[in-house]
Structure formats: structure tokens, C-alpha cells
Amino acid sequence: MVKLKIDNKDIEVPAGTTVLNAAESVGIHIPSMCYLDGCSNHPTCIVCMVKDIKSGKMMPSCATKVVEGMELASEDAEVFDARKEAVELLLSDHVGDCEAPCRVACPAFMDIPKMNRFIAEGKFDEAIRIVKEEIALPHILGHICSAPCEKVCRRKDMDEAVSICILKRTVAEESENSYLPEVKPSSGKKVAVIGSGVAGLAACLHILKEGHVCRLFESKSVVGGSLQTAIATGEMPKEVLASEIEILKKLGLEINLDSPVSSDNFTGICQEYDAVILATGNSSDEISKLNLDFAGEKEAYKTSLSGVFACGSLLRLQKMAVKALAQGKEAAHSANLYLRGQEVETIKRTFNSRFGVLRQPEALEYLKESHEGMRKDIKNRTDAIAEASRCLHCDCRKRDNCKLRDCAEIYQADRRKFLLGDRESLKKHFNHESLVYEPEKCIKCGLCVEIAQKNNELTGVTFIGRGFDVEMAVPFNQSINQALTLTAQQCAEACPTGALALK
């Protein structure tokens, strides 16, 4: 047995144990991208660095064996900076987006590509579940949203943007009335939402989903706020608002009409309810008398009163309905954290790699998994399926389990730090029955090479080229379909990035 210290913890492990495994044995997690249990370790990513305290030397923990009397640091500032730099070097050579541009542009961060894929498969019930995770009022937004997502759709650079907004409306029309979002167990807490415009109604849905009782206060005799203007101008049928309200009622929403809120009754509401969300719009004089200071979105929609949150045009005139809806969702998120005794903070988005404008050859690569043709006029399910099939699948297939993205988030990496000259051109290979290979995401870890070899693939894959030009490829002019017959899924699961992924 070998005795050593990591972060001042005494550790005793068998000889031949790697430093990485020794650390894991006492609960010290060291991130690694190219390590896989059962495979030989080639420290290509250098993300798992630790420091020898005596010499100050950095070493890769996945390939370094323990030595008697070692004293190592895995968490100090120098180690952190070394790992961050390693991640940034990997990102400098990485060509791929984590999230599709359309999703990034959506203020509510709706998973548009996933919705499109479900629609393209005719799975409208699954599509509405994806939509409702972020968009509380898809039927309404399908009529009045200004669709910032479509302005950045990469398909627009080839012919016309995918008709995302109408697809969202179609999903709502096809499935919404038969789908109610899952509601968490009752919390025993009560929330008052004041104002029934887009922001207020969105806040209601997300409060209800969290298991809280929710009561909506509206000063007028009808629900909807500025949505009534959209109905009056013919922008949206009144039945659309009615259907969305009916869903909220089914989830338990209580509505108080003709209930203006002023300094006379606001204190009583705050005493009766565990949290209050103000969404009265910019034209309201209800709240102006209350002398509240609003912190706004950067401060998690808190006000100067504990447990009182504000959103929508009350803070600043919102010209985009989807922005008001997103603020209603985020204010509900803050109120929920407050009610559960947690620190109130804004919703944080995970690190997102972005490689920029598509070149013409890259556009052709994306078109490989899309249907050709111009934007369609959607009148029915068949039209919707055809239109959704035009989506280019710009998001990464492994965005939720990419080790590079995880490490970039942990170390707050700057993906542009080591960008020099022109980037490589993105390529997608679909000539395998179950795999997609994107070589410009490969970090040359060699795991797929070793997995194929260990499982006696006839040729497997190998590295071809030298230095910066090396890449994973199939030898002897074989196809990847021939090279990976037994181990395709295993290789895809082991790949630390989206270089190898299942279709």
C-alpha cells in the first residue's frame, strides 16, 4: 500500500493506483475528459492537472501513478488556472455550437430544436411538453410573438428561416388542451400575482407548477391586460386567451377580477400571501403609490420589500411579448426560491460555445440532415411536419453530457482566448447507420480507437496525420460503418465531446 496526501487528506491506496483514482477514493473529484475506466490513459486534454506541493510541478492525475510520500494539491489557484488554460486551448480548436442560435435568441430559452425534431417525427404530444417547459402561453405567443428566434435561424442564410412561431402555435392547437404540465406536491405556500397580462399569466403557470397556491388579482373585469388590445385589433382570436386561461384554472389558478391593488390594500395582501409578484404593466397607476424600489432582472426581480417581486413592463416597457413572458417565468423562479428558503438568484445559463457565421461549405454540411425546400404555409399537421423537417439541427447532440462544456462551465473558460487565424471548417459525416461524426469537435483522446481495438473490430479507427493535422479516421479506405460494427454505441457514449454521437 502507498501513503500520500491530496489537499491535506491522508490517503492509502494500492501501488499502481493513479492519482486521479486515489483522489476519487476519498471524495476528491478531479475533472478529466480523456480518462475512461478500463482504458489506458493518454493525457491529451491536460484538464486533470494536479500540483506536486514540494516541487511545484504540474502533472496529469489520470496517467500519474501514486508514489509513497506524495503531497499534492488539486484545488489551489495555480491548479485552477492550469486547468482553465487547458480547457481554453481545447476550445480554440473546437468548431461547434452547444445551443442552436434560435434557442439563444429566445428570451424564454425555449428548446426550439428539440420541439422541431418531435414535430418532424409527428410527436406533437412530446413537442408540447418541450414547449411548456419554458413557454407558459404557447397558443398566445404563437399569434403575437415577434419571433426573434427566426431572425437568427441559420436556414435563413440558405433560403428562408424555419417557421418556428407558427410551429409553436400549431403544437399548442394540436396538443395543448389535452396536456397539463406536471405539478409538484403542495408546498402549503400562497402566492399573489397582481396583473393578468403576459408576464402575470406566465408567472401564474410557473408558480402553480411548483406546487404553490396561486391567486391572480386583476383590476379590470376581464383577464388579459394588454392581450385584450391584441384581441381588439384582430391580432389574436379571443378564444386563444380563453383556452390558455382554462388551462391555468385546471391547474388550480384562482382569479379575482375587479380587484385593483393600491396602498390601501397592498399591505394586507403581503400579510396574507407568502410571496407577491407584481406584473401590472407600464400603464398602471396601481403600484405607483406604493413607493417600491425595483431591482429588476439583474437582481432576480426583487423589490425593496422581502418576498415581493416585479416583472414585465412595470419595470421597463416590454415591446416583445416573449420577453415579458420570460420575465414572468424568472420572477416566479425567484419567488419559488424565496418560498423554499433558498438564496434568490437569477436563472443562469450554462456555457455556450459559438463558432460564428456559417460558410457556404458548412451550410451544405448542415443541409445533409434537413429537408430541402422553401418555407411552407402551415395549415395542418402534415404541413407542420414538413416545415419542422427543414430545421438544420444546429444544436450539439451531446450538449447535456459533453465533458468539454462541463469543464468550460466549471472554469468559466474564455473560448476566444487562444483563437488564432482562420478556424477549421465544420464537417458532418453521416455514413454510419447509427453515428454522426464531426471531426472538428474531436480532442484526439483515443478512446474510440482503444474501444474498437479491445472489442476486436476488424479495422476500427485510428489516427492519421501528424502534429496539428492529426485526425481520427478509418484505415484502409474502409467506411466508418464497416469500422465500427460492434462498438458504435460504446464509442459514442465514451466520446467526451460531440465528435461521435448517436443519430
Residues 240 and 170: their CA atoms lie apart, in Å, by 12
User: Which grid coordinates belong to 120?
Assistant: 418532424
User: Which grid coordinates belong to 50?
Assistant: 494536479
Residues 390 and 117: their CA atoms lie apart, in Å, by 10
Picking from 475, 478, 473, 503, the residue whose alpha carbon sits closest to that of residue 488 is: 503
Q: Are strands 2-6 and 71-73 parallel, antiparallel or unpaired?
A: parallel
Residue 18's H or E segment, with its range, is none
Instruction: Identify the pLDDT of residue 103.
Output: 98
Instruction: Identify the pLDDT of residue 420.
Output: 82
Ordered mean pLDDT values, 10 residues apiece, the chain (503 residues): 96 95 96 90 88 95 95 96 96 94 97 97 95 96 96 93 97 82 96 97 98 97 95 95 95 96 90 96 66 80 94 90 97 98 94 91 92 91 96 95 96 91 90 92 92 89 81 80 90 95 93
Domain segments of the chain: what residues?
2-89, 101-178+355-388, 190-223+250-335, 424-502
Instruction: Identify the pLDDT of residue 289.
Output: 58
Asked: is 424-502 a CATH 2.40.160.40 domain? The reply is no
Residues 132 and 205: their CA atoms lie apart, in Å, by 10
Residues 61 and 122: their CA atoms lie apart, in Å, by 48
Starting from the edge strand earliest in sequence, which strands make up the sheet with 71-73, in order? 9-13, 2-6, 71-73, 49-52, 58-60
Report the predicted TM-score, pTM, of the whole model to 2 decimal places.
Answer: 0.91
Picking from 254, 136, 142, the residue whose alpha carbon sits closest to that of residue 206 is: 136
Asked: is 2-89 a CATH 3.40.630.30 domain? The reply is no
Instruction: Identify the pLDDT of residue 479.
Output: 83
Instruction: Identify the pLDDT of residue 469.
Output: 78
User: Which grid coordinates belong to 325?
Assistant: 413572458
| Cβ contact 275:189 at 8 Å | yes
Instruction: Identify the pLDDT of residue 482.
Output: 85
**Assigned superfamily of 190-223+250-335:** FAD/NAD(P)-binding domain (3.50.50.60)
